[in-house]
Homo-oligomer: A and B are copies of this chain.
Amino acid sequence: MPLSDAQVQKMKQKRETILEQAIQMFAEHGYNDTTIAKVAKASGVSFGSVFTYFENKDQLFYAAVVEPLRVYAKELLDFDSNAEDTVAELRKMVTAHIKIFSSFETYLRLVVQVIGYHNRFAEPFAELDAFHNTFRGKIGELVKKGQEQGQLQVRDANYAATAYTSLLIGLRVNLTDSPDSQMWEKFVPFAMQLFGPKGE
């Protein structure tokens, strides 16, 4: 007996709710202090149901880390590594990234944990690491282009990209309780400096 469309919809919705609550709680209280029972309660389902949608706690954690990544990845990679005016594109990119990071508080807490315990969380870490490489790579390309055009001082573009992503994650770690995006914006010029724009 196939499920009706309405039923499929309802189930999707339920899965979504559980995942959102899980992200919230994993980020806030960590893996161990987040119990399946608490997630279930916060989601308004029985804890048995959590196992209907996620094989086990590790899978739930994996999904909590990896699924948002797909969304955020797109936003973070939304810049043109072939742009003509490299510096302008970089500035647009940095501004967008800063804005995204300032609003990511919950999710990035999760990311930091995964990185911190990458032995324990090998699988989600692999995904994050893969994205990080893609991310750095694309930024590196843009930087390289800017250097070739003479708009940026010549330095190792990959290191510049790594310094840049490190600054982003470091700010997120340090400004733990500062959702105030105005303050975040102040860091745009500092981030730009890492790329060595000429005449600034």
A-to-B contact residues, CB < 8 Å: 28-33, 109, 112-113, 115-120, 132, 155-156, 159-160, 162-163, 165-171, 173-176, 186-187, 189-191, 193-194, 196
Q: Are A29 and B119 in contact (CB under 8 A)?
A: yes
Check B120–A109 contact: CB distance below 8 A: no
Tally of this chain's copies:
4
Nearest chain B residue, comparing its CB with the CB of A174: B166
Report the nearest B residue to A164, measured CB to CB: B190
Per the bound structure, the CA–CA distance linking A155 and B190 in Å amounts to 9
| 14 more A-B residue pairs beyond the given contacts A29-B117, A109-B116, A113-B116, with a C-beta to C-beta distance below 8 A | A29-B119, A30-B31, A30-B116, A30-B120, A115-B173, A159-B190, A162-B171, A162-B174, A163-B190, A163-B191, A165-B174, A166-B173, A166-B175, A173-B173
The one of B159, B170, B186 that contacts A168, using a Cβ cutoff of 8 Å: B170
Q: Which residues on the B side are within 8 Å of A165 (C-beta)?
A: 170, 174
Q: How far is the CA of A191 from the CA of B193 in the complex (A)?
A: 9
